[in-house]
Structure 1
Amino acid sequence: MEDFSAVIDKCLEPVFTLFGEQQDIHQWFRDMSGAVCQDVLKLDPTGAECARVFAAQAAECFELNFNAVELQVKSLDPDYRTACTKGCSYCCSSHITLMPQEAFRIADMLRKSLGRKDLKGLLKEISKGGADYDEKGFRGFGEDYFRPCPFLREDHCVIYDIRPLSCRNWMSQDIEACKTSYESRNKISVPQNAILMIQKELVFAGQNAALSRYGIRGEICSFLPVLETILGDYEGSYEKWLSGEVLRGQLED
């Protein structure tokens, strides 16, 4: 089993690349992910509520970190503004990645709140959205993905309170850039504040490191394929995940 620092560094490789050879910033990111790791090590990762508790902890930690960092950004840049408003959904046709524990949390809520007919219809829609995942693989599927999220209803998210960190972390300062990206089918990126946009990666890395202690795979997943797998067999998928197996839709390297 890899030690915590090795897992964190591996997860944060893309983040380190963004900030070049600035080792002091690299260490700051390591420390933040390490704090996340130590926080969730207090939790029992083997119980029936493990995924829900880990995901809820991740969301709370993310919100605290993101809000604190955003305040610092605003203090340094008086012109900083966000263009995101209620009812705006240009980003909701993007490929969403999430931690497996987030997927289990969402699936658990859906199983408890939807009737059999509605759940069956939703599963059909999710399956259609992820139909070519096995052919294209994680990266190919993500690069080509462009379709409205199945949880988008009249430009509103119906799972907003438990939405993935990737959705929480999306923050635009220019609505026109969002429109351009949408019209290009996400081939044109929306400019982002790098410090804000890596906050989810710090939580990912910390929770992944904590799960590695128990041999549980914490690598990110493609939203629709992994959700289809879990909704199709929640108990079986959960048992496989706790035993260290890679789920369909989960990044393997």
Structure 2
Amino acid sequence: MAGQHSSDSGPLSFFKAQQEAFAETLKQRQGAENLVDGLLLQAWSSFDRNVEIQAEGMPPLACHKGCATCCTLRVTATAPEVLMIERYVRWSDDRFKSIGIDLPARIDAADARTRDLDEAGRVALRLRCPYIEDGVCLIYQVRPLACRGHASYDVRACVEAAAGLTGEIPYSAPHRVVRSLVQNAMQSSLRDAGLAFGLYELNHAVCIALQNDTCCEQWLAGADVFAAAAINEPSAEEMARTFDAIRAS
């Protein structure tokens, strides 16, 4: 993987290199609002580069523009991702409303139906993601790592799974593994910096951010502003123990 220590080409070395890079970004932009931009541009770039490397020689993905088959799943996101999406929703609000799309209202309505549902309940509901319009993601440029790392080699298997007919989907392992390593490295660095590092249910967290325009400032000050939307699978304590074990290895 790109950006690793030369002495080791494995996932552990990649994780540690990513963690160090995120820690440097946090140090350089401490307390600044553009910290969110720096972290996510770094995360997205690293994800794209390393997926390209790891997926070399693999079959082509079945995912394509206009396919939103998997967009009924529960999506989790870190605080920086939530803050970036909230900013994008505010920025694009007038443009979307000019074509008849009230995205904040959509998100609020989806949250009302999905809040507190677990993964199985969310899938069973089969409610389309509020960010989807005619199969296209309205926030594609700022979509979470969870979405970036969810890719399939077989659209038919995705359609059957969405209909409850099968659970066997040939997912891209490179996308899943790189997403996990990059995201977890960022979370570990956020924890070290004294910032809320958990995962949150996307719809509810974005609703919280849209209702409070000081969320970014509060998060930068160390508050867990999205605690009401927290997904404790795994728990923050379990993640912290894992991060500590990796650091000690």
Name the TM-score, length of structure 2 as normaliser: 0.77
Structure 1 residues 118 and 42, CA, compared in 2 at 3 Å: closer, same or farther? Answer: same
> Is the counterpart of residue 110 in structure 1 residue 89 in structure 2?
yes
Structure 1 residues 203 and 175, CA, compared in 2 at 3 Å: closer, same or farther? Answer: same
Matches within 5 A, 1:117-132: 118=97, 121-131=102-112
Q: CA deviation at 1:214?
A: 1.7
Distance 1:192 1:37 in 2: 26
> Is the counterpart of residue 194 in structure 1 residue 173 in structure 2?
yes
Distance 2:120 2:82 in 1: 21
Contact 2:93 2:103 (C-alpha < 8 Å) held by counterparts: no
Distance 2:92 2:105 in 1: 17
> Is the counterpart of residue 238 in structure 1 residue 220 in structure 2?
no
Q: CA deviation at 1:29?
A: 2.0
Contact 2:93 2:102 (C-alpha < 8 Å) held by counterparts: no
Contact 1:216 1:241 (C-alpha < 8 Å) held by counterparts: yes
Matches within 5 A, 1:175-214: 175-184=155-164, 188-214=167-193
Matches within 5 A, 1:80-229: 80-115=59-94, 118=97, 121-131=102-112, 136=116, 140-145=117-122, 146-184=126-164, 188-229=167-208
Contact 1:52 1:104 (C-alpha < 8 Å) held by counterparts: no
Structure 1 residues 114 and 123, CA, compared in 2 at 3 Å: closer, same or farther? Answer: closer
Equivalent pairs: percent with the same residue?
A: 21
Q: CA deviation at 1:228?
A: 0.7
> Is the counterpart of residue 67 in structure 1 residue 52 in structure 2?
yes
Please state whether the residue corresponding to 1:230 is helix, strand or coil.
Answer: helix
Q: CA deviation at 1:62?
A: 0.7
Q: CA deviation at 1:132?
A: 5.3
Q: CA deviation at 1:143?
A: 2.6
> Is the counterpart of residue 33 in structure 1 residue 46 in structure 2?
no
Contact 1:52 1:102 (C-alpha < 8 Å) held by counterparts: no
Count of equivalent residues: 216
**Runs of 5+ consecutive residues of structure 2 not aligned to the other structure:** 1-7, 236-249
Distance 2:203 2:168 in 1: 22
Q: Which amino acid aligns with 2:33?
A: A
Distance 1:132 1:65 in 2: 36
Higher mean C-alpha deviation, range 114-123 or range 39-48? 114-123
Please state whether the residue corresponding to 1:91 is helix, strand or coil.
Answer: coil
Structure 1 residues 163 and 116, CA, compared in 2 at 3 Å: closer, same or farther? Answer: closer
Contact 2:31 2:221 (C-alpha < 8 Å) held by counterparts: no
Structure 1 residues 89 and 103, CA, compared in 2 at 3 Å: closer, same or farther? Answer: same
Please state whether the residue corresponding to 1:228 is helix, strand or coil.
Answer: helix
Please state whether the residue corresponding to 1:244 is helix, strand or coil.
Answer: coil
Distance 2:95 2:65 in 1: 30
Name the TM-score, length of structure 1 as normaliser: 0.76
Structure 1 residues 147 and 114, CA, compared in 2 at 3 Å: closer, same or farther? Answer: same
Please state whether the residue corresponding to 2:66 is helix, strand or coil.
Answer: coil
Q: Which amino acid aligns with 2:175?
A: L
1:14 matched to which residue of 2?
A: none
Distance 1:128 1:214 in 2: 34
Contact 2:76 2:231 (C-alpha < 8 Å) held by counterparts: no
**Once superposed, what is the RMSD of the aligned Cα atoms?**
2.6
Q: CA deviation at 1:133?
A: 5.6
